[in-house]
Amino acid sequence: MSKFPNSRPMKTFILPTFGVLGFVIGSGYALAKTNYGDRKIGFLEEQIAKVGTGVQQAKLLLPAEAEKRATAAKVAEAESARAAELETQVAQIQERARAVTGRQKKVASAPTPGKKLGLGRTALTEEIAAWDVDVVPGGRGLPDGSGDVATGEEVFADKCASCHGDFAEGADNWPVLAGGFDTLGDADPVKTVGSYWPHLSTAWDYINRSMPFGEAGTLTANETYSIVAYILYSNDLVEDDFELNRDNFADFEMHNKDGFIFDDRPAIEYTRWRTEPCMKNCKAEVKVTMRSVFLVETPADGGTESVMNPASIDDLPTFSADGPSFVPVSAQDMDRQNNAVGAAQVIEETDPDAQLIATGKKIFRKCKSCHAVGEGAKNKAGPHLNNLIGRRMGSIEGFKYSSAFKLASKEERIWSEATLDKFLTEPKVYAKGTKMSFRGLKKEKDRIAIYEYLRQFE
């Protein structure tokens, strides 16, 4: 029983209350669900729209992307093939390297600081010998071989004469190799292999290393021996049957072997020169004390020719700070020379004999390096040619003739127009063994011109 008889039961009030509340909640939930679904549907519709747009774009890009992918695939395939090829080549190289390493000694590791680098190898005896070509006085360093005068004459004519002349007399301004023995005490000495060089080894070594000009190192040992033998013969230091070889090389003594002294100038003289110049009390006037000994002429028909300078110092001015004391009147001298030359040309043009002599004078240039002619002519590499026509061959006193002309002198053969013509045609045939290596004059008119020219000095 209830304590409150007039009251209703509790459940009577609770149930209606919960019912109303449930309805409200349910309605709100249903409403909320309805709003959420709408939003969800809207979101999905937006996504569908975007997906549709993406599909449309994909449809547009699909062909290009497919082409790119195809190209990329081809490139990848090519690169893969190239990589495989390179790997094969590397493997082959490594295999060859292993094979070579197996046949050779292994290379030593890099040296530590302070030790030898370990580069290269010790030179072989044969390799050192190939470079060790110097020859010293006494003949040490000479190779095997030999050469005689006759062979040397041929080699010299072929390889040396274009510069040094057929008789080693020097062509144009190239060095003279023969003669000059009586000139070393002169103001302008002629220093040749024969007159000046103290050691024969110097000639052999230099010729072997440096000649012929432009073809250095091409001579054989025998050719070098032969050339040196011929140069000795051209200087009248050996006979025409001489042969030079390693065995007799050291026995040969040069003409000027005692003509050199030890150079002590660095210790004695250099200290005197290495002082500051005073630049005080200078000379008020200076003068030329000598002129050039030789003049180099350039003939109209080509080449060059060195002649003695006839001028003296008497007509030269002195010089001071104010200039020369006078100016030489060289223009007048030049006019006189031109007039003289012009007159000579007129005579030559009108006189056939004068023309012939003038031609002979030009041709004699081939001879004047060894032979002198004219007033005061002396023996050179060959005898002087004054009074040649009518003279007995090999008869100049004091000249050392070859065996060929010694025999001609003994037979009392005489120089005439006929004998001179035969000799100049083929010197080696007419006088076998002559020292003169001149090949001769092949043109008859040239031989006639030489004969007429030499007749002027009878």
Please report the pLDDT score of residue 269 as a whole number: 82
1 pLDDT above the threshold of 50: no
- When pLDDT is cut at 50, 70 and 90, the band that residue 7 belongs to is very low
To the nearest whole percent, how much of the chain has pLDDT over 70? 72
**pLDDT, mean of residues 31-57:** 55
- When pLDDT is cut at 50, 70 and 90, the band that residue 221 belongs to is very high
DSSP letters of 65-105?
A: HHHHHHHHHHHHHHHHHHHHHHHHHHHHHHHHHHHHHHHSP
238 pLDDT above the threshold of 90: yes
435 within 8 A of 402, measured Cβ to Cβ: yes
In one-letter notation, the amino acid at residue 221 is: A
The helix-helix angle for 444-454 and 417-425 (nearest 10°) equals 130
At 244, phi and psi to the nearest 5?
Answer: -105, 135
Which H or E run contains 147?
strand 146-148
Query: Number of C-alpha atoms within 13 angstroms, CB side, residue 265?
Result: 5
Alpha-carbon distance 210 to 134, whole Å?
12
**For the segment 342-359, what is each residue's pLDDT rounded down to a tens digit?**
555 555 555 778 888 888
144 within 8 A of 155, measured Cβ to Cβ: no
**For the segment 173-186, what is each residue's pLDDT rounded down to a tens digit?**
789 999 998 888 88
**For the segment 245-293, what is each residue's pLDDT rounded down to a tens digit?**
999 999 999 999 999 988 888 888 887 777 777 778 888 888 888 777 7
**For the segment 96-141, what is each residue's pLDDT rounded down to a tens digit?**
766 665 555 445 555 566 667 778 888 999 888 888 888 999 899 9
pTM of the model: 0.43
259 within 8 A of 180, measured Cβ to Cβ: no
Rounded-to-10 torsion of CA 237, 242, 246, 249: -20
